[in-house]
Structures are given as C-alpha cells and as structure tokens.
Amino acid sequence: MKASLFCNAQYMGQAPSDVWPLPGKYFSGEEGVRSMRTAFEQFRCADEFGFDWVTVAEHHYSPISLSPNPMVMAGALCQVVRRAKIAVLGPTIPLHNPVRVAEELAMIDIMSGGRVVAGMMRGTPSEYVTFNINPAESRERFAEAIHLIKRAWMDPNPFGWLGRYYQYRTISIWPRPVQTPHPEMFMSGASPEAGEFAARNGIGVGFAFSTVPLAKKAAAHYRACAAQAGWEPSSDKVLYRALFHVADTDEQAFADMSTIPPRVNLADQNSGISSGLLKSGYYGVDVVGQRERSARRDLRERIDLGQLIVGSPDTVLKQVRRIKEELGAGIIDLVVGVQLGERTLRSIELFGSKVLPRMKEL
C-alpha cells in the first residue's frame, strides 16, 4: 500500500473558513508567503521520509487552499521533491481548456522525469462560479475533455477535434509525456456516474473527504462496472483521501486534533450558489449520498467513519488497514488537516518512518 501527502497550502493567517467567496481584504501577503513556504517544507519532509506521492489540487476564492492552479504548484514541486511522484489531483477539467491541460501535464511529466500522476477532477461544485461555467454541463464537458486529453497525449500526428464543447482545428502537443502511453490517470469515483465512467475508461478512482462506508459502496460499484467492461482494477487503482495527524501517543494526537475546524462544504456557504447548484443537477442521481459526504460531524464520529486518521503510529496503522480491507484501496492520500508547525512535521515524519514501512506489507 502506498501513501501520498496532500498539503493544499492552506492559508495560515486569520480568515473565516466558512465564507465563499472569501473577500480578498482578509489576505495578507506575508501570511501567504508563510503558508506557501510551510506547504513546501511539508512536501519536502514527505519526500524525505518515504512517501510515495505528494498531492496538489485546485481550489479557488478560499483560504482552504492557496493553489488555484495545481500545475504551478506541481511545476515548483518538481524542483523540491526529488523522489516521490507528483500527483496533480487535479485540475478541475470542465473549467479549463483541455489542450492546455494535456500540455501542462506533459510538461510536468518531463520536468519531473516521468513522475506525474494525472488526476482529472470534476471539482468542487461552487467553483463553477469561478470561471462562469454552467455546472449542468460538467459531466459532458468532463467526458469529452478526458477523451481529448488522452488523444492529445497519444496521437503521433496532428489532428483536429469536432466536439460538442470543444473544437480545435489542429492539435499536436509539445512536449509529450515521458510516461507511455500516458501518465496514470485518476478521477473521483464518488458518484455512481463517475464510477461507471472511470471503469469504462480504465481510469483509477479516488474518494476524497468521504467516509469509509460511502467509499466502500462506491468502490464496489466501480469494480462491478469494471467487471462489466472486462477488466479488474488492482488496489493501485483505488485511492482514499482523509485528514491525518500522527503523534507519539494517541493522547497527544487527539489533543492536537481537537483544534481542527469542522468540515466546511464550500458550496453551502452561499445560499444562492447552493440552491443554484442543486437545481443544475450537478450532483447527479445520488444527491443525498453526494451531500452526505460533507455533512458536519464531531471529531469522534469523523474518526469512526474514516474521515480522520488520528493517533499514534500503531493506531494509525490500524485505521489504514481498515481502509485497505474495507474498500481495497491501494493508495492513501493524507491531508494535513490543521497546521501545527513542528508537530505537523513530526506527524509526517512519524507516518513516514513508523507507519509507511509497515503499510507496504498490507
């Protein structure tokens, strides 16, 4: 089993986390620089202590992340992280020009010597407001863009594209990915529609900020769809993302995490956006299940449901084992839930030195 460290470059200054979009007046350049330096220090630490991947992602208009462009983060990480794979999980595909996405991921792949993992995300729903894209079109845009990106990576000759949402008269990207036929691809598998699409197209799935029971059900659906499509996903095709914190003792870890803020669903912080998204059909056939993932829960319940991985190395290993056993995940994407300075670095070090070596045998 593999581990990745996901540090979303959370803003470390004082700013409300339950407002979206958050006014820029809360931003301090000094705190922004400090936040970004902290993120890079944690990524460097994860690389040093044996994490298999480091993860970056895309978020907008919010202090939860100072990474509106994960490609920029990944490009910088190529120079900092020397060994681990760089998982871009990922660009919010329907918001962007797919040719540009194909080019940038190929560029990061060569910059990193073939270490990029290509996440293809439909994104955080409220963020469709960011670039004024209709969320009702998100699945169709996503599907078309994925086909186009794969072809842009693989087709050796110039070609045009006559799509429903994208049209190009000629495409011939340079550079091309180092990895052949293309970098490993992941997408969210949280919704039934996404699981089916991923299975049909041989793409790995990730479950982010879900619960183990919900992810277990979704992983089973993905595997069933893959079986129908004639293949069997290995555990390396299933990623589970959770917040984590490791300390020398359970008591210390729980005490540290008692300061963690409740999970905030950005889409629900603005009533107009929230109701507009619901009406758009963004959540698909399983509206209840999709929204249940982000329901507010207390610390104990979040740990029990597998949203938080917290404790001493032994306790954390048990929690990771449960995720492996219940949903067959082969990759765990660990999110720095709260910035605690030296204690966060110690958490990464403890995981890398005391948990990860034992995880390899799971």
Partner 1 sequence: MNDANSEESRVIDIGDIRLAYIEAGSGAPVVVIADGSGPHLCKSDMILAEEQRVISFGSCRPGSDHEMAASHTIDALEKLGLDRFDLIGHGAGAMVALHMARTAPGVNVVVLAGPRLEPGPAFEDVKCPALTLIGTRDENASLDAGRSIVLKPAHSHLMYVYDGESALGEERPEALAFIVREFFERRNEFLVSREIGRILP
What are the residues binding partner 1 (CB under 8 A)? Answer: 144, 147-148, 151, 157-164, 166, 169-170
The nearer residue to partner 1, 43 or 128, going by C-beta atoms, is 128
Least distance in angstroms from the C-beta of 230 to partner 1: 14
The whole-angstrom separation of Cα 328 and Cα 321 is 10
The nearer residue to partner 1, 166 or 209, going by C-beta atoms, is 166
| Residue 63 near residue 110 (C-beta atoms within 8 A) | no
The nearer residue to partner 1, 229 or 299, going by C-beta atoms, is 229
Least distance in angstroms from the C-beta of 149 to partner 1: 12
Least distance in angstroms from the C-beta of 163 to partner 1: 4
Question: CB neighbours of 125 closer than 8 A, spacing ≥ 6?
Answer: 135, 267, 277, 282, 283
Alpha carbon 169 to its chain's center: 32
| Residue 108 near residue 86 (C-beta atoms within 8 A) | yes
Comparing C-alpha atoms, which of 87, 54, 327 is closest to residue 211?
327
The whole-angstrom separation of Cα 45 and Cα 39 is 10
Residues in the chain: 362
Least distance in angstroms from the C-beta of 129 to partner 1: 17
The nearer residue to partner 1, 40 or 166, going by C-beta atoms, is 166
Q: How many other C-beta atoms are found inside a 10 Å radius of the C-beta of residue 204? A: 22
Least distance in angstroms from the C-beta of 146 to partner 1: 11
Least distance in angstroms from the C-beta of 202 to partner 1: 16
The nearer residue to partner 1, 152 or 257, going by C-beta atoms, is 152
The nearer residue to partner 1, 141 or 221, going by C-beta atoms, is 141
The nearer residue to partner 1, 50 or 163, going by C-beta atoms, is 163
The whole-angstrom separation of Cα 209 and Cα 189 is 12
Alpha carbon 31 to its chain's center: 24
Least distance in angstroms from the C-beta of 235 to partner 1: 30
**Which tokens belong to 238?**
């299933």
The whole-angstrom separation of Cα 198 and Cα 357 is 30
The whole-angstrom separation of Cα 45 and Cα 334 is 14
